[in-house]
């Protein structure tokens, strides 16, 4: 095995030119699980540990190499909240936003946030850069639009993130748990509401019907909240797997979305 | 390739030809057996070490990627044959039963106390949430940490 540990993006591009299919190693919290299980055996590794451009976090731009330990301190409530729920301190110390995007798991906890704020993902290679909407980047379960020779530079948030945001997830215990269902809800001053759901579809999904319905309610009544919850559950596309059942996920995502919305309204 | 690690202040070298973990190198090449190997999935925390100052699971660190970085293992927590106060407190408060998880808790707990000398109960639980113990029920471990806070307040 060969490993290179470049200090900057130019060094990554050089390494990718030589081996476009090299494993890009960020925090390793997804990749090393596969390596240890014998499911991944890279011949070439490009370590992103020292690449300074990926660590930039500047208001609306979050570099791919920014860790959850840093994102926990975000003043955007949902981003801080979701970061605090990832794994354990050991995982958050090294796990990155770019790794969550790279893995593109339907249960990746950063993804509902990116979807709810309509973030864009920037990909770069030696020959230029591509910026694409989150739903163009996430193409399926564990699938994304990254091409060989490219890496994720980071995510661009909109200029104005809605004032109220909330994240909620459910799993079998409080800490160190992969989401059975998750949601991110945002609501701006005008009442425009967005809802993104994780782990209840092939990729992160927006609950557009529920968004439209609740955005029209200036001060939602109990009946409106009930209807919102019902619509979110209806729009989920969950499956039954070893972690949970379709029915439970559908029910849970509606409840979570309602709670997150109530936090935004409080 | 040669991987040079600064383990508990000492420069150590290991030959690495595969993407194996830092945990494997610490145990199998450098014979530092305090760091325990259990799940190799980041779930149990028994392999916890400090890498470049951060508490991490050494099973999730590619050894070749730790080249030239400082590593603190449980062997580096006790100094000059004297137990770290947390190690003594774990003994005194029933925080150790089979002992398999203990090195991980010592590294994580010592790191917590270093960063936050008076953690609340919530902060203690949060800081240790990446470490699993199948024996003690965690009460003794939490009391051990709490006993050190009281000592500092006096
Ligand atoms: C015990 C444990 C608990 C976990 N808990 C959670 C949880 O609660 N929520 C959650 O969402 N996830 C969780 N995870 C999964 C994982 O921690 C996250 O997905 C994390 O964001 C991965 O980041 P990383 O930097 O460690 O990625 P790595 O493992 O380094 O990389 C993951 C993938 O992304 C690619 N990649 C990384 N950076 C880039 C880049 N800049 N450009 C292109 N490709 C890139 C890699 O090549 C690889 O394919 C957990 C994992 C473990 C082991
Ligand atoms: S062996 Fe590393 S976390 Fe379990
Ligand atoms: S003492 Fe046995 S696992 Fe903790």
Structure tokens at A67: 């860790």
Within 161-200 of A, beta carbons closer than 8 Å to B belong to 174-176
Residues 6+ apart with CB under 8 A from B68: B4, B5, B6
Residue A81 lies in a domain: no
d(C-alpha A44, C-alpha B127), whole Å: 35
Residue A187 CB-density burial (10 A; 0-12 exposed, 13-18 middle, 19+ buried): buried
Pocket test for ligand 1, best of A3, A102, A198, A203 (most atoms within 8 A of CB): A102
Burial A46-57 (b: 16+ CB within 10 A, else e): bbbbebebbbeb
> Among 1.10.1740.10, 1.25.40.10, 3.40.50.880, 1.10.150.120, what is the CATH number of B85-153?
1.10.150.120
Domain count of chain A?
Answer: 2
The pLDDT tens digits for B44-91 are: 999 999 999 999 999 999 999 999 999 999 999 988 889 999 999 999
The DSSP element (H or E) to which A253 belongs, if any, is helix A246-265
Residue A244 lies in a domain: yes
Q: What percent of chain B has pLDDT over 90?
A: 94
In chain B, helix, strand, coil percent, each to 5?
40, 20, 40
Residue A143 lies in a domain: no
Structure tokens at B27: 């145990």
pLDDT tier at A176, thresholds 50, 70, 90: confident
Cα Rg, chain A, nearest whole Å: 19
Q: What is the mean pLDDT of chain A?
A: 97
The fold adopted by the segment(s) B2-76 is: Ubiquitin-like (UB roll) (3.10.20)
The DSSP element (H or E) to which A125 belongs, if any, is strand A120-125
d(C-alpha B54, C-alpha A72), whole Å: 15
pTM above 0.95, yes or no: yes
Residue A68 lies in a domain: no
Residue A83 lies in a domain: no
A32/B59 touch (CB, cutoff 8 Å), yes or no: yes
The pLDDT, as a whole number, for residue A108 is 98
CATH number of the domain bearing residue A189: 3.30.390.50
Relative to beta strand A205-206, strand A2-4 is unpaired
Nearest ligand to residue B103 Cα = 3
The atom number, within ligand 3, closest to the CA of B96 reads 1
The pLDDT, as a whole number, for residue A167 is 98
Domain that holds residue A15: 1-52
Residue A129 lies in a domain: no
Please tell me whether the interface predicted TM-score (ipTM) of this complex is above 0.90.
yes
């Amino acid at each position: 095995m060969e490993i290179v540990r470049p200090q900057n993006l130019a060094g990554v591009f050089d390494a990718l030119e030589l081996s476009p299919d090299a494993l890009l190693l960020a925090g390793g919290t997804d990749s090393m699980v596969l390596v240890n299980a014998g499911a991944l055996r890279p011949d070439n590794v490009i370590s992103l540990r020292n690449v300074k451009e990926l660590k930039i976090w500047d208001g609306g731009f979050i570099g791919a190499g920014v860790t959850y330990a840093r994102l926990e301190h975000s003043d955007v409530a949902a981003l801080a909240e979701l970061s605090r729920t990832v794994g354990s301190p050991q995982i958050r110390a090294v796990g990155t936003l770019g790794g969550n995007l790279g893995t593109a798991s339907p249960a990746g906890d950063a993804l509902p946030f990116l979807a709810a704020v309509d973030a864009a993902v920037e990909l770069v290679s030696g020959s230029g850069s591509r910026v694409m909407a989150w739903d163009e980047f996430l193409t399926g379960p564990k699938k994304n639009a990254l091409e060989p020779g490219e890496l994720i530079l980071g995510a661009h948030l909109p200029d104005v993130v809605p004032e109220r945001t909330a994240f909620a997830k459910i799993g079998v215990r409080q800490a160190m748990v992969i989401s059975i269902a998750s949601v991110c809800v945002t609501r701006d001053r005008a009442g425009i509401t967005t809802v993104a759901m994780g782990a209840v579809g092939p990729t992160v999904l927006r609950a557009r019907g529920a968004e439209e319905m609740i955005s029209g309610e200036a001060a939602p009544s109990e009946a409106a909240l009930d209807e919102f919850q019902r619509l979110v559950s209806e729009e989920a596309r969950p499956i039954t797997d070893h972690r949970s059942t379709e029915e439970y996920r559908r029910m849970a995502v509606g409840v979570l979305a309602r709670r997150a919305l109530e936090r935004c309204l409080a | 390739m040669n991987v040079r690690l600064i383990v508990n202040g000492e420069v150590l070298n290991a030959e690495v030809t595969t993407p194996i973990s830092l945990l494997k190198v610490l145990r199998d090449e450098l014979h530092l057996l305090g760091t325990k190997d259990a799940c190799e999935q980041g779930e149990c925390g028994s392999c916890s070490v400090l890498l470049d100052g951060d508490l991490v699971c050494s099973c999730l660190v590619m050894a070749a990627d730790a080249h030239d970085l400082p590593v603190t293992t449980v062997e580096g927590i006790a100094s000059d044959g004297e137990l770290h106060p947390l190690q003594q407190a774990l003994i005194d408060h029933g925080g150790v039963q089979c002992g398999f998880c203990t090195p991980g808790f010592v590294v994580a707990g010592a790191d917590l106390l270093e960063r936050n000398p008076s953690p609340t109960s919530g902060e203690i639980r949060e800081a240790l949430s990446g470490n699993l113990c199948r024996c003690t029920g965690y009460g003794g471990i939490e009391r051990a940490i709490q006993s050190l806070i009281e000592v500092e307040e006096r």
